């Protein structure tokens, strides 16, 4: 419903403050958006400036494509590549992320819910992505930490990862060694 309202506002009135607020609220959490007691973050100011510089018809076309997307649910059942999905707990897309993860093969996918975060996890809390990504890459054999210090019950713990995830060849991925000058301590 909000997408249709934004689409109509953009089409008839161009890029107004209400459309900007709706777009920014859609992607960013409360902490980044700021409020009466908390000032707006730098990224919010940059996004507002960016939206001011764009032609409203291009943003309208973008919103139209969002509105006309087809359902991918059936295709998700056939997806066999490893998938790591990050979603903020305050994201408007949280339910969709949980739904998508439920449709994916559990052996090849994981959902990471980031607390106190909106939709753009990479901007709001990039540090929250580090440990899950390390475990995900460990499943490929691409990352070897000096020590493992996590809960053995964590679904992202390398010892709880399905054996199928540990072999890149099992998914048809051929990895070539990368030559570096750094010495690795094992």
Asked whether residue 161 carries a pLDDT value surpassing 80, the answer given is no
| Domain residue ranges in the chain | 1-68, 72-140
% of the chain at pLDDT higher than 90: 2
Asked whether residue 173 carries a pLDDT value surpassing 70, the answer given is no
3-state secondary structure 79-90: CCCCEEEEEECC
- DSSP for residue 63: H
Asked whether residue 141 carries a pLDDT value surpassing 70, the answer given is yes
Summarize the confidence of residues 104-116 as an average pLDDT: 86
% of the chain at pLDDT higher than 70: 76
Summarize the confidence of residues 139-164 as an average pLDDT: 58
Look over the chain and give the mean of its residue pLDDT values, rounded to a whole number.
76
Asked whether residue 58 carries a pLDDT value surpassing 70, the answer given is yes
Which pLDDT band, with edges at 50, 70 and 90, does 8 fall under?
confident
Asked whether residue 136 carries a pLDDT value surpassing 70, the answer given is yes
Asked whether residue 36 carries a pLDDT value surpassing 80, the answer given is no
Quick one: pLDDT at residue 35?
A: 75
**Cα(16)–Cα(54) distance, rounded to whole angstroms?**
12
Which pLDDT band, with edges at 50, 70 and 90, does 7 fall under?
confident
């Amino acid at each position: 419903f909000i997408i249709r309202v934004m689409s109509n506002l953009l089409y008839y009135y161009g890029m107004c403050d209400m459309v900007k607020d709706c777009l920014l609220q859609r992607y960013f959490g409360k902490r980044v958006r700021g409020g009466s007691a908390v000032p707006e973050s730098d990224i919010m100011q940059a996004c507002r400036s960016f939206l001011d510089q764009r032609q409203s018809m291009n943003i309208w076309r973008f919103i139209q494509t969002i509105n006309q997307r087809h359902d991918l649910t059936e295709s998700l059942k056939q997806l066999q590549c490893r998938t790591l999905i990050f979603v903020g707990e305050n994201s408007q897309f949280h339910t969709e992320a949980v739904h998508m993860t439920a449709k994916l093969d559990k052996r090849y996918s994981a959902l990471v819910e980031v607390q106190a975060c909106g939709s753009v996890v990479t901007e709001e809390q990039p540090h929250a992505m580090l440990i899950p990504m390390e475990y995900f890459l460990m499943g490929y054999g691409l990352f070897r930490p000096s020590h493992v210090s996590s809960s053995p019950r964590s679904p992202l713990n390398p010892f709880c990862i399905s054996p199928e995830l540990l072999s890149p060849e099992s998914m048809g991925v051929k990895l070539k060694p990368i030559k570096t000058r750094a010495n690795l301590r094992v």
